[in-house]
Amino acid sequence: MSSLNANQKRCLGVWPNEEISYTNASMSGFLSLITIPGNLLVLIVVFKNPNGKMRTPFNWFILNLALADLLVGMIVEPLSVVVHAREGLGYPLKYHVYLQPVYFTSCTASVFSLGMLTIDRYIAITSPMQYRATLSNKRAAISSLAIWIISTSLPFLQQEIGFLWYFFVFGNASVLVTFFVLLFAFVRVHLTLRAQIKELESIQGRSEENQARNNALRTEARITKTFMFMLLAFIFCYTPSLIMIYLMNLCTVCSCQAIHWFRDLSYVFIVLNSSVNPFLYAWRLPNFREAIKALFKRSTSQQLTAAANRSPLPAAQRNNGTTAMTNVSSESNGATPAQPKKDDVPGAKVNEVAICVEERL
């Protein structure tokens, strides 16, 4: 800790170069324009649930992750633009006291939410029969609340131990430990999933139960593959940041301008992850793509209905036209054709079983 205090004291009065401040301000403004709409769309889709498949524990954890990332886009990045623009202009630091707590809170919540997503995938793949009993929507909500309680409590340490030392603690406790947990869980999930697929493929026959299991397992594989991309994005964003956190805290021979570069670039890499996450699962998960399409389709339908109601055509004429069309349709055949029963449709039972299994995803 002595070297940390030495760097903090040594560079406390050294002002960063203008290009450092303006680079951070520009990157923060650009990333904010990407982070806000992507995560806001995820929140709307999960809350409105347009396709009826969004209320699952996995999606609640994604909702929690999107909320943390949205805070980054709406508060952290705009504040970063103001702070670093003022810093580049030579104005006294004024708003950084608001930036740092929100930054650490939202980033810690984002990292812990990824950890909960890992636990969700781990249980879903390794213990599928106990998944529903173990992880319910209520428990997912309680876990999400616990994440926010911890995330809002940790930044108070920064007031006591200083920015650089807390950044070091954040890098080790929140990022490094979570990284190894994610890596261990993902390896186990991948090996278990591959073994289950091989076992299923070795079973002879095409019974309804086997088809349902196959459909559910393929869905699990798609979700887990998407989660793999999220982990890769986490590694890509947090590994350079973690390296720079170590450098700016332990490199006693580095210049203060280098320390400022390490500080700002580590920040940029961390908030970059918040802009990438929603596009990974929104475009790769079938249920999310379906829900987004349903949401926009419903919105378009409502707009067309509203436009039709504002039409200058008299209401009586519209009603007469509708009645006439109804009469023609009724008289053309004389009777309504009988609809096939659900059980008569080929493969209906198989699809029902598969859908019931997929609903928990």
Per residue in 123-137, pLDDT tens? Answer: 887 887 888 777 788
Per-residue pLDDT averaged across 184-190, rounded? Answer: 80
pLDDT at 52 over 50: yes
Place of tokens 């339908």: 301
Q: How far apart are CA 38 and CA 180, in angstroms?
A: 28
Cα separation, 233 vs 216, in Å, equals: 26
The predicted model gives 101-123 an average pLDDT of 85
Instruction: Evaluate if residue 277 carries a pLDDT over 50.
Output: yes
pTM summary value: 0.74
- What pLDDT sits at residue 28? 93
Expressed in angstroms, the distance from the first to the final Cα of the chain is 45
Q: Between these two residues, 229 and 344, which has the higher pLDDT value? A: 229
| Tokens at 298, concatenated | 């419903």
* pLDDT tops 70 at residue 7: no
Residue 37 has pLDDT above 60, yes or no: yes
Of 217-221, 240-244, 314-318, 351-355, the range with the lowest mean pLDDT is 351-355
Domains of the chain: 10-301 (1.20.1070.10)
pLDDT-derived band at 209 (thresholds 50, 70, 90) equals low
Q: What is the pLDDT confidence band of residue 74, given thresholds at 50, 70 and 90?
A: very high
Region 276-290 average pLDDT: 79
Q: Rounded CA gap, 61 and 147, in Å?
A: 10
Model pLDDT, residue 30: 95
Instruction: Judge whether residue 320 has pLDDT over 70.
Output: no
Q: At what angle do helices 18-48 and 57-71 cross, to 10 degrees?
A: 150
**Banded pLDDT at 189 (limits 50, 70, 90):** confident
Q: Determine the pLDDT at residue 102.
A: 86
Model confidence band, residue 359 (pLDDT cutoffs 50, 70, 90): very low
Q: Pick 206 or 92 by higher pLDDT.
A: 92
Max mean pLDDT range (19-23, 114-118, 347-351): 19-23
Mean pLDDT of 253-262: 86
- Is the pLDDT score of 121 beyond 60? yes
Which region among 148-162, 207-221, 263-277 has the lowest average model confidence (pLDDT)? 207-221
Residue 344: predicted pLDDT: 45
Confidence of residue 70 (pLDDT cuts 50, 70, 90): very high
Structure tokens at 199: 């076992």
| CA dist., res. 66 & res. 31, Å (int) | 15
The residue-averaged pLDDT of 28-39 equals 94
Q: What is the pLDDT of residues 149-180, one digit of tens each?
A: 988 887 776 666 666 666 677 667 777 777 78
Is the C-alpha dihedral spanning 347, 353, 356, 359 positive or negative?
Answer: negative
**Spatial distance between the Cα atoms of 218 and 361, rounded to a whole number of angstroms:** 12
Summarised one tens digit per residue, pLDDT across range 326-336 is 444 444 444 44
| Tokens matching residue 338 | 């009988």
pLDDT at 278 over 60: yes
HEC per residue, 49-113? CCCCCCCCHHHHHHHHHHHHHHHHHHHHHHHHHHHHHHHHHCCCCCCHHHHHHHHHHHHHHHHHH
pLDDT of residue 351: 43
Distance CA 118, CA 259 (A): 34
In angstroms, the Cα distances linking 235 to 112, 178, 188, 229, 240 are: 14, 11, 18, 10, 8
